[in-house]
Structure formats: structure tokens, C-alpha cells
Amino acid sequence: MKNKLTLAVVLLGYLALPMSMSGTTVALPQIGAALGASGGALQWVVTGYFLTASSFMLVAGSTGDLFGRRRIYRLGAATYALGSLVAALTPHVLLLDVARTVTGVGAAGVMAGGGAILASTFTGGERTKAFAAMGTTAGVGMAIGPTLAGWLVGALGWRATFGAFAVTGLLLLAGTVAMAESRAQRRARVDWLGAVSFIAGLASIMFAITQSSRAGWTSPLVLGLLAAGAGFLGVFAAAERRSANPVLDLTLLGNRRFVGWLLAGVVMVLGFGGMMSFLPTYLQGASAMSARDSGLVMLFSTAPTLALPILTSRLVNRGVSPRMLITGGLLLIAIGNAWLTRLHPGIGGAELLGPLLTVGIGIGLATGLIDAQAMNQVDRSRTGMAAGLLNTVRGGTQTLVMALFGSVLITVLTSRLGGEQADRVATGELAGAHQAAQLTDAWQLVLWGIAGLTALGALAVATLLAPPREVVQPAEPVAAPA
């Protein structure tokens, strides 16, 4: 019973916390009007949360291994609730920015701590089922999260929505009573240099990526941030080699199978992250779909994630090869992207059903399977570190994919239409059939690229997850009879 309550609390976090980002995006116009804010100060309401949530994942997970995973989860839930409450009551956008940045730190503790708690609470087939349930919950959040968050903002207003997030944080905090504490057997000192340099390095790089669409990849701001990020991460790598208790044990990356599952998470996000974020804009511009209809069409790609993770866990527990399942899932995502290159102005839901459903089935096979199998490759003392690394890599990949997807679209359109028109066309503001055709050509080029990279990634994952070859010992020579 206690394990079931633990699972329920962790799943609530994985369902609700991502909505804190999508709901805030929907609420930006209301927030700007209420607080008299615009530009970078307003955008930081979203960016600050995302940057700190992603940057603190690894540190939160590793710290949980040292001081207790439930303790870090509790601290994360309390910080998330406090940040959300301040956001609901704030009179000024700068205080809102600070509150949201702090809320992201709390979200990191909840997300990284939650994965580690599942890994330390469940073993064997039960662990596979638990992570499959986590995958299904993430699928539900993916499918209804933006819609539900938008409804909350529309029905209750942005302040009440932040208040609802604060209540969720309190529920997560209360739910930790049902959790058992776990930590590494050996209590070690915190690797402060590693923690600070990693957070600074990753935050600098991710902030550079988020600014690239506005300032351009060659702007001094973006180049300076990328250089600073590379420098900090260089310090981090040097510190981890020397530290007796590193934030990231680099020997973990020497585990070929763990790296394989880590790469699988990257490839999965590569295959759907940009497409799912930008396709509704294309459909509204080139096919004149309403926002509601384009949102319904996107359910084709998210609906399979509501059931397939549970089915996948059952197949694994019955002896089906996880390597075969993940390779097949990633190849399906590649095939779906290639099929989607048949995109054209005026395309309807019936034509999109096949490619989007194919992508969705691939996502459903991979979701939940990746975390469970990756955790099976590490010992219990490092589950927090592994969970934090998985979430960090996925979050960083999502940021990079979204930035690159939009950047490549605009670059292709600029070469054909000129810079002034490219930005408008990329966001679906079309002035005629010619611009719609050019946008479609750019989309097809990007989709072929994603399909090819995803297919290559699937083959790389299959190679990394291949079982080691058995070395055949030469037979002992037989002595000749005397």
C-alpha cells in the first residue's frame, strides 16, 4: 500500500509540474496586461522556470543520493509551492520573474527526486511497471496539459492558476509522508565546485539557445554565452575527474548500455520535439485550421502514449527484448517524420492520421521504457544521479531541438523570400499561395533531416545496446600419443 501511495505522489508531480510551463505560456498576454510588462522581462516568466528546472536536475539528483531522495523531493515540493504562491500574489513583474526562477529549482528537485524514488522503491518487473506508469502519466500531460492549463488560465485567471500550482506543491509535500527515505550507504561531502560549474555552464548554454531566435546565432550575446558555458563545463569536467564524490561520476558514461539508453532519450526528443511544437502553427497558416482543430489533430501523435507504455512494460516482463522495442520505436518515429513530408497546403486531418499516429506509436514504445532500463544499468547508490542526468539531457535536447527547428526554417525561408518575410511566414502569417508553398518546401526539408538523423540515432542505440560478444577460448591442444 505504501509503495502505491509513493507511486501516486510521484505521478502527480510528473503530471502537474510540466503544466506549470505550458500554462504560463498561455497566460503571458494576461500577465503582461495586468503588470504592465513586455519584452524580455515578460518572457523570463517562462524562460527563468525552464532554465533553472533543467540546470538543477543533475545536482538535485546527485544531492538526493547523498542526503536522502525523499528529503530532496520534500525540499523541491516546498520550494515549488512557495515560488508558485509568491507568483500568484506578486505586484511586479520582476518579483514574478524571481518567483518563477525559484519555482524551477523546486521543480528540478521534484522531477529528479521522483525518478530516483521510483528506482529505489521498486525492483524487477515492478520497477518496469512503475516507470511505464510514469510514461503514461507524461503522455496524459502531453496530450491534455496545454489544453487544461489554457482552460485554467481562461476560467480562473493567471493568479488563481499559480495558486493552483501552489496547492499541487503542498499536496506533493504532504504525500512524502508515504515515502520511504533512501540514500547512498556512504555519506560524502558535496562537490560544490562541480555543482556550481555545471549549473553555470548548462544555464549559459541553454540561455544562449533561447536567445538565438531573437539575437541570431552569430550575435555577441549568443557567442559570449556559448563560450562562457563551454568554459564552465570544462571546469566541471576537470573537477569531476579529481573529486572523490562527484556530482556526475564520469565512469557512468563508460557504461555502454547506460549511454545507449541515454542516447535513446535524445533521439526520441529529436524525433518529435520540434515537429509537435511547430506543426500546429503550420496547420493554422497553410491549411486555415482553427487553433482548436489543429490541437485535436495533434492528439493523433499523443494518444498512443496513453496506453503503449503499460503494454511495453508487460512485453518486457514477458521476455521481449527492450533493445528490439526501443529500436523499433525510434525507427517508427523516423518513418512518421518521413511520411509527414507529404505535407501540403490545405492538408486535412485524414491525411495526417497515418504519419502522426506512426510517430505517436514510436513515442509510446519509448516513453517509460527508457527510464526503467537506464536505471537497471546503475547501482542503487547512484539512482538520483542517473535520474537527474536523464531529465537534464532530455530538457537540454528539447531546448536545442526547438531552437534549431525554428532557426533552420527561418534560414531556408530567408534564402528564398528574404529576411523581412521569413519570420512572418515561419510563424504561419501567409500572404498567398506562393508563401504557403515556400513554407511547405522548408518544412519538408527539415522533416527529411529529422527522419534521417532519427534513423541513424536508432541504429546507434541498437549498436550500443547489443549484448557483448562471447569470446570463444581456443581449445587446448591435444598431446600426441607417445
Assess contact for 103 and 420: CB atoms under 8 A: no
Q: How far is CA 448 from the centre of its chain?
A: 22
Residue 298 scores a pLDDT above 70: yes
Torsional class of 471: left (φ above 0), alpha (ψ -120 to 50), beta (otherwise): beta
User: pLDDT tens digits, residue range 188-206?
Assistant: 677 888 889 988 998 898 8
pTM (two decimals): 0.83
Q: Quick one: what percent of the chain has pLDDT higher than 70?
A: 94
User: pLDDT tens digits, residue range 303-334?
Assistant: 888 888 888 988 998 999 999 999 999 999 99
Query: Could you tell me the three cell numbers for 98?
Result: 524571481
Give the separation between CA 90 and CA 173, rounded to whole angstroms: 23
Distance of CA 233 to CAs 305, 340, 346, Å? Answer: 35, 37, 47
With cell 556530482, the residue in question is: 247
Assess contact for 107 and 165: CB atoms under 8 A: no
Which carries the bigger pLDDT value, residue 140 or residue 401? Answer: 401
Residue 172 scores a pLDDT above 90: yes
Q: What is the DSSP letter of 378?
A: S
pLDDT at 478: 57
User: How large is the average pLDDT for residues 30-55?
Assistant: 85
User: pLDDT tens digits, residue range 220-251?
Assistant: 999 999 999 999 999 999 998 888 788 888 88
User: pLDDT tens digits, residue range 381-439?
Assistant: 788 888 888 888 888 888 788 878 888 888 888 888 876 777 778 777 787 888 888 88
Nearest to 30 by CA among 99, 80, 93: 93
